[in-house]
Structure 1
Amino acid sequence: MFTDAESTLVYHITDVANLPSILNDGRLISDAAMEQHDPNIVIGYDHIKLRRLREIHVPCCDERFVGEFVPFYFCPRSPMLFTINKGNVPNRPAGCQRSIVHLVSTLQRMIDLDQRWAVSSGNAGAFHTTFDDQLMAVNMLDWEAIQAISWSGRGHQKSAELLVADFVPWSAFHQIGCYNSAIAGQVTELLADIEHRPTIRVERDWYYA
């Protein structure tokens, strides 16, 4: 369960093919900001991304849209990764989790960015989700579901998110979790000339069988 912001890890998943543009920009940007840039490889449902961009507000953050925030999960091996790997997302074949990496930071590091942030009670793309910008809201999350390996029926709760407004600098990440050594090797090559190089690890337990 949640203990403190310094030890609480947060995870953003993206395709390894998106790393060059992230590194070139020096930051990870929101989907709303992405509309003004060259598009990255999308790993989620288009209709849900549109809902986050145009329909669901974060009341505690000046009614801004969810899509204006960079999303993080409080666990690896998320329900979204499961769905992507099953081939349920358009243009993403079954087994495609191999190319997805986890960018890891801490809750405290996100708070220290001094940008607007919020915690969602579950999947921030669902209309019944609630939002809060107070740290105590993290304690109220369903940590049993978040930490569960088997989460059938609790996917919404396990999908609770930390939302950080607009962008997150590359320097905020301290680790990159990869499916296998081949992907870890690709990431190592991409970071060869980058000043800030997070630790790169194969974290097979962060993925599905």
Structure 2
Amino acid sequence: MVLLLTLPPEQAQIMHFTHIDNMSPILAAGRLVADSAVGERLTTDVGSAAIKASRRAKRVPCPPGGVIADYVPFYYAPRSPMMYRIACDHRDGKPNCYPDGDDPLVYLVSSVDRVHATRLDWVASDGNCAAALTCFSNSLRDLPELVDWPLMRETLWRNTPADQDRMRRRMAELLVHREFPLELVIGYAVRTPAREEQLRQVLRDAGIINAYVGVRPDWYYGFGRGEVRG
């Protein structure tokens, strides 16, 4: 798997993450399905209920339209603000949230050009889809200027006194309408060798032998419960 963000925007890698418990039903279905249609097929839900509700209400202003929850979401970079929230909820033992952190999460990696070549309907955002000032486009020509590509290469994405919009922009997404076929996946990434072997067994059980699985600890936060980092 080519390291992300070294390619031009129209060929950039995109990534969707899900809990490893969800991989067996995903592989059986042969596709990722938008939140508005996934129903009980999601074994372990790592998403925030409030965020999911907002995405079911927020309209997409360009074709094919609908709401954000009608799309399968992909980020352009790892260690997203969403993954940070998941890792922090685990670290802090936050009640009434998914409790297990980012270690069990699996990245499914593809690329913009693979999606575009299949003529799937897609929409790109320039930041957090729930934010009022976020812009959307369904044109490949807009991607170079729409997405803040230098920010996608940064390890730290927090807002600064000089730029209070960094976190929103880091949450830019490629949204694929309704469903995403797994034949467009070019590889998977996990945090540890133990998760790699667990995922390889899930893939073998699904009859998939030669999939690329990379161990990418730098794509994760990996906070322990109650951990304090200096």
Letter paired with 1:186: Q
The alpha-carbon deviation at position 161 of structure 1 amounts to 0.1
Q: CA RMSD in A?
A: 1.8
One of 193, 199, 206 as aligned partner of 2:212: 199
One of 182, 185, 199 as aligned partner of 1:173: 185
Which residue of structure 2 aligns with residue 208 of structure 1? 221
Distance in 2 between the 1:39 and 1:178 partners? 19
Residues 64-111 of structure 1: CA distance to partner in whole angstroms, max 9, x if unpaired?
111000000001111111111001684323x61110111100111111
Distance 1:11 1:31, change over 3 A: same
Distance in 1 between the 2:95 and 2:172 partners? 20
TM-score (norm 2): 0.83
Distance in 2 between the 1:106 and 1:61 partners? 21
Which residue of structure 2 aligns with residue 112 of structure 1? 117
**Segments of 4+ in structure 1 off by > 4 A?**
none
Task: Specify the structure having the higher radius of gyration (Cα).
Answer: 2
TM-score (norm 1): 0.91
Distance in 1 between the 2:220 and 2:171 partners? 15
Distance in 1 between the 2:211 and 2:143 partners? 26
Distance in 1 between the 2:174 and 2:13 partners? 11
The alpha-carbon deviation at position 130 of structure 1 amounts to 1.4
- For structure 2, which runs of at least 5 residues remain unmatched after alignment? 160-165, 223-230
Which residue of structure 2 aligns with residue 31 of structure 1? 35
- For structure 1, which runs of at least 5 residues remain unmatched after alignment? none
The number of aligned residues is 205
Which residue of structure 1 aligns with residue 156 of structure 2? 150
The alpha-carbon deviation at position 57 of structure 1 amounts to 1.1
The alpha-carbon deviation at position 59 of structure 1 amounts to 1.4
Residues 32-51 of structure 1: CA distance to partner in whole angstroms, max 9, x if unpaired?
1113x433322121111111
Letter paired with 1:145: L
Structure richer in strand, relative to its length = 1
Distance in 2 between the 1:72 and 1:85 partners? 19
Distance in 2 between the 1:14 and 1:26 partners? 15
